Structure 1
Amino acid sequence: MKNIETLKKENMNLSEKIYIFDTTLRDGEQTPGVALTVDEKIQIAQKLNNLGVDKIEVGFPASSKGEIESARKIKSLDLDSTLVGLSRSLKSDVDAVLDADLEYIHTFIGTSPLHRDYKLKMSKSEIIAKACEAVEYGKDHGLTVEFSAEDATRTERDFLVEVYREVVSSGADFLDVPDTVGILTPILTHELITDLKDSFKIPLSVHFHNDFGLATANTLTAIECGVNQAHVTVNGLGERTGNCSLEELVMTLKASYDIDLGLDTTRLYSLSNLVGRLTGVKMPVNKPIVGANAFAHESGIHVHGILNNASTYEPMSPEMVGHSRRIVLGKHTGANALKSKLKKYHIDLNDKQFEKVFSEIKSLGDSGKCVTDDDLVAIAITELGSARETPIIMKGLSISMGGNVSPTATVKLEIDGNEKEASSTGVGPVDAALNAIRLLVKDTVDIKLEEYNLEAITGGTDALAEVFVISSDSDDNKSTGRSTNQDIVMASILAVLDSMNKLLLIKRA
């Protein structure tokens, strides 16, 4: 049976050099609702350059003076990446690229029947004439010229080949194949690119859109067929559903194809975050490579494997892309994951304490809550500080509120094995419950609440409430009490009871 490496060599026509052409600053900025300032474009361009991409399409100079200004400023940075300007097949657009002080032009014109008849209203011969004129004009002015036949994948194959043949004769340096509305599938991509590679010897480039979620898959197929360059955007941004994702393509080539493009992939995560912040387009948590959950694990089975060897459930290490691994706590959490988390925070629990914390985590998970690290630390510290013996045990609680009537709390406690129940009112439900507890314990321990602190561990309406109290008795003994619970009233009661139990143990000792 042939191994994967053998199959790669036999079945792929890989180019010796694969160029990464990033168009985040042009097509990415065409994402609905996105508009970047000059300074923001500069920040992104610098990060793309530091990553090591070969080419950066800095914008569409003919569209505005601001585009020319930003292109000039980026050019003044003297970056290693080649800077590119977009241009329609118009001399005025080419002049705008020259005015922006750029040396590489990406010029295009629609070639499909839809574009010819409904957008351009031009004949085939007029399309070819315009395309060639722009290419020749760019070459006459010393530019490197990349030509795109817009909507190439819906263009008649014989006409597409004719257009490309004519622009090559006019001096084009790169031929780009745009899947403008993302209709390709990997099989169709293979057929199209193989055909074009057989027809042309100059470098081929692809610019694939993601309307059906296939942009990265189709780009990989094109690379397998020998294309020399791929157009990408950070986070897959772009018109409608976007373009081939830079981070997905680069890491798939590196991890699955063993193709190292010479990029510093450890910068991918920070680049993604910067672009997400500047554009306002945040990535879904399950976005491959850079999503918050890309290296997050909750299932006990998965975490057990990860802790022994991360490769069991990760195709690459998070460090390869500048990301980090997260062990998430919830109802699927296993004991190994919890022990790992506690070790991380230097919290040492005995077996009984561990079981109580583990049970609490599971219970919170069953209630639909994702337990954060802060939640865990609060629960574990509460358990560590709780009284080891509990003469007073909570058995029941009910709160009634309505209209202008003060809240009434009915509390049932077990005190030294005997159950007692009492009701009381208060200025709020917590006050009412504590007043009822005082009535129940007055013959056992006389307490005074010295300090009461309430804090939400994390944000959101389902945040755990952490209550910390200090109580004193008639002999001026003092003790602390702590509790974490999703219910503020219950957290308060349990904290006070924890403090009471400690005072009782002190008194009886």
Structure 2
Amino acid sequence: MHSSIRIWDLTLRDGEQTPGVAFSPQDKLDIAAKLDSVGVHHADISFPSSSAQECEATKKILAAGFAMGVNVTAMMRPEDVVLAAELGADEINMMAPLSDVHIEKKFGQDRKTITRRIVEVFRYAASRNVRVNFIGEDTSRADQGFARDVFQLALDNGADKLVICDTVGVMEPAGMGEMTHALIAGVDPAAVFAIHCHNDYGLATANTLAALEAGVHIATVTVNGIGERAGNASLEQVVLALEKLHKVDTGIDMRGLYDLSRLVEERSGMLIGIHQPVVGDNAFTHESGIHVAAMLKDTSTYESLSPEYVGRRHRFVLGKHSGKNNVRRQLELLGLDFDEQHVAAITNEIKQLFAQGSGRAASVVEQERTEPARFGLSEEKFTEIARRIIGES
């Protein structure tokens, strides 16, 4: 794996292709500003040929003068090159199919037609002094000899970066490592490769890391892993794994990840999964009595990662599995005078409350995302129980 890995975010283009998501130009500008502030190296912000609104959003972002590279995606057509060049994008991502199923069934064409189009459009882009990247759609299901030849062809005709795509998420890490290693070995050593993985089998992050271990230079990701079907490789998961598990410098401000995640959640309307790593509500939340007792002594017992590292904090909630240590801690935080009989009585009542089901939290749909957590006993209910029991004894 390279000592430094670049992060190429696709939230504003591929992420927006999530069914039901539609970013306004202002949404895109606000998210782009946050991506830039955390240190993302490149951002694919739009598909300009799709609408006038996409062009407006592109102009707003380019006018902001962000430090990160700003690129747009286009089909393999001269008119798309012209539009992107007129907008002033730093780079254009030109997309073409590599698998026969896409070439034949999606486009009704053959391999020769595709390769001829790549040469024509890339040479045209070069004549316009436009920097272009080549996205090999559905690389993982392509004939690998053909895929290798097309990547080299794109490189020979001016491609700046080459993107290997697991478009329908069918790879597993071992196979991904073998495929990417072979493709890299079969193309000019000067080539710069990126990896793009979808999450259909829940392996997008693992496959991305496998490709990076095989020598790919750039990870393409989306915030919260949003995207078509099951989504894309998650920015926060990939970056965290690189930084903490692989000891690779990504240049990303880790403390800004949670705020970025929540901004994308708010603007996209796609709720973050409760158990989603790094940014999910339960990522640093503890209820079990045994776990909380250990955590109060040393947080490393049940967390390998400090939540502050990614802009989060520990959270201890009260519920069916809570023990006296957590109850005692909550009473101390409230500043109440108590003894061990009070602690035992309060703990027992909380357990009984949840055992009967009446303490169950509201569903995601029913309850607004606010602090304290959606799950566990609310602070108000705990205070009411504690004051009643302490006052009665």
Same fold (TM over 0.5): yes
Please tell me the TM-score bracket, short chain as reference: over 0.9
Could you list the runs of 5+ residues in structure 1 that have no partner in the other structure?
1-13, 389-509
The residue number in structure 1 matching 2:199 is 210
Flag the structure with larger Rg. Answer: 1
The residue number in structure 2 matching 1:353 is 342
Matched AA of 2:95: F
Structure 1 residues 256 and 322: alpha-carbon distance in aligned structure 2, compared to 1, 3 A threshold = same
Deviation at 1:253, TM superposition (A): 1.1
**Residues 105-153 of structure 1: CA deviation (Å, up to 9, x unaligned):** 1111112111111111222111011112222222332232210111111
Q: CA RMSD in A?
A: 1.2
The residue number in structure 2 matching 1:20 is 7
Deviation at 1:315, TM superposition (A): 2.0
TM-score (norm 1): 0.72
Distance 1:310 1:374 in 2: 26
Higher relative contact order by CA 8 Å / sep ≥ 6: 1 or 2?
2
Matched AA of 1:50: S
Is the 1:22–1:246 Cα contact (8 Å) retained in structure 2? yes
Distance 2:390 2:124 in 1: 77
Matched AA of 1:133: E
Q: Is the counterpart of residue 373 in structure 1 residue 375 in structure 2?
A: no
The residue number in structure 2 matching 1:91 is 78
The residue number in structure 2 matching 1:267 is 256
Aligned counterpart for 2:310 among listed residues 321, 333, 349: 321
TM-score (norm 2): 0.93
The residue number in structure 2 matching 1:487 is none
Deviation at 1:322, TM superposition (A): 0.9
Deviation at 1:56, TM superposition (A): 0.7
The residue number in structure 1 matching 2:267 is 278
Deviation at 1:314, TM superposition (A): 0.9
Could you list the runs of 5+ residues in structure 2 that have no partner in the other structure?
360-375
Is the 1:89–1:133 Cα contact (8 Å) retained in structure 2? no
Q: Is the counterpart of residue 53 in structure 1 residue 40 in structure 2?
A: yes
Matched AA of 2:148: V
What SS does the aligned partner of 1:147 have? strand
Distance 1:236 1:308 in 2: 34
What SS does the aligned partner of 2:12 have? coil
Aligned counterpart for 1:252 among listed residues 235, 241, 244: 241
Distance 1:131 1:347 in 2: 73
Matched AA of 1:31: T
What SS does the aligned partner of 2:120 have? helix
Is the 1:109–1:149 Cα contact (8 Å) retained in structure 2? yes
Distance 1:68 1:86 in 2: 12
After superposing on structure 2, the runs of 4+ consecutive aligned residues of structure 1 that deviate more than 4 Å are: none
Matched AA of 1:373: E
What SS does the aligned partner of 2:73 have? strand
1:417-428 → structure 2 map (5 Å cutoff):
none
Distance 1:219 1:261 in 2: 14
Distance 2:64 2:326 in 1: 47
The residue number in structure 1 matching 2:320 is 331
Q: Is the counterpart of residue 63 in structure 1 residue 50 in structure 2?
A: yes
Distance 1:136 1:306 in 2: 61
Is the 1:180–1:209 Cα contact (8 Å) retained in structure 2? yes
**Residues 208-230 of structure 1: CA deviation (Å, up to 9, x unaligned):** 00011100000010111110001
Matched AA of 1:288: P
Distance 1:140 1:338 in 2: 71
Distance 1:101 1:168 in 2: 22
Distance 2:290 2:30 in 1: 42
Deviation at 1:69, TM superposition (A): 0.9
Deviation at 1:364, TM superposition (A): 1.3
Matched AA of 1:156: D
Deviation at 1:360, TM superposition (A): 1.1
Aligned counterpart for 1:162 among listed residues 149, 155, 158: 149
1:279-318 → structure 2 map (5 Å cutoff):
279-318=268-307
What SS does the aligned partner of 2:342 have? helix
> Matched residue pairs, number?
374
Structure showing the higher strand proportion among its residues: 1
1:473-488 → structure 2 map (5 Å cutoff):
none
Identical counterparts, % of pairs: 37
Distance 1:120 1:296 in 2: 49
Distance 1:100 1:310 in 2: 51
Distance 1:164 1:151 in 2: 13
